Amino acid sequence: MTPHIGAAPGSIAETVLMPGDPLRAEWAAKTFLDDPVCVNSVRGMSGFTGTWKGNRVTIHGSGMGMPSLSIYANELIREYGAKTLIRIGSCGAMQENVGLRDVILAMTASSLSTPSTGIFRELNFAPCADYGLLAAGVESAKRIGTPCHVGGIYSADVFYDERPDLNEIMTRHGILGVEMEAAELYNLAARHGVRALAVLTVSDHLLRHEALPAEDRQSSFGDMVQIALEAAFA
């Protein structure tokens, strides 16, 4: 038990999928896992453990933003022995060739700052995904026929961004999409020697000013969860 996770010892699997929204964690667990059991509800941040094709999996919310994810990822790794952490979440597209409902596999994650900035100080550390997970995710997307893009993303510190100049720079440098958690997840994975990947469904498009209707989001997110699970156990 930790300050933020009330799970009993041994109740968290070595493979953890981390959506930002705890309600999405519950939906994913009940949709994809066999015999899911709620193992955490501290502060409303739900976590469930079950099995997928005979493999133990935990699906645990991370909250919004890198500081929140850093708390849960640190505790999952250091106190519960998580070895593979895969972020499953939504993002906003920043390239014309990326469409709504497409999946982005984040090879790298740029940021202005992260909770790890105090450790790195003057170093511009380049956090990246685990290659094995990344390659397996690509193969999974091909198999199920989901449009998939691989490349760099941007992990933002704020949701209501007022830096159109920064968005233009990101787009010009090929950044595929923007979200708020992956860069710190990749930092922590590197620090603790575990595997990490961000699998992201495009729910909004910054250039076209398009967004998925609320009723379409849940069905579109299913492919992302399937890709994450298949990548984890490839």
pLDDT of residue 136: 98
Residue 26 pLDDT: 96
- Find the distance separating the first CA and the last CA of the chain, reported in whole Å: 30
Q: Are 51 and 163 in contact (CB under 8 A)?
A: no
Residue 81 lies in a domain: yes
- pLDDT of 220 reads 75
1 belongs to a structural domain: no
Q: Is residue 10 part of a domain?
A: no
Q: Is residue 121 part of a domain?
A: yes
Tell me the pLDDT of the chain (234 aa) as tens digits.
899 999 999 999 999 999 999 999 999 999 999 999 999 999 999 999 999 999 999 999 999 999 999 999 999 999 999 999 999 999 999 999 999 999 999 999 999 999 999 999 999 999 999 999 999 999 999 999 999 999 999 999 999 988 889 999 999 999 999 999 999 999 999 999 999 999 999 999 999 999 998 777 766 799 999 999 999 999
Residue 2 lies in a domain: no
Counting the structural domains of the chain, the total is: 1
Report pLDDT for 219: 66
Q: Which residues lie closer than 8 Å to 222 by C-beta, 6 or more apart?
A: 31
Asked whether residue 131 is domain-assigned, the answer is yes
Catalytic residue set: 204
**Does the annotation flag 151 for ligand binding?**
no
43 is in an annotated binding site: yes
Q: Is 204 known as a binding-site position? A: yes
- The reply to whether 4 falls in a domain is no
pTM: 0.96
Cα–Cα separations (whole angstroms), residue 9 to 2, 25, 161, 185: 10, 20, 40, 23
* Cβ count within 10 A of residue 5: 22
| Structure confidence at residue 91 (pLDDT) | 97
**58 is a domain residue:** yes
Q: Which CATH number characterizes residue 163's domain?
A: 3.40.50.1580
Q: For residue 170, say whether it is annotated as part of any ligand binding site.
A: no
For residue 92, what are the domain limits? Answer: 15-232
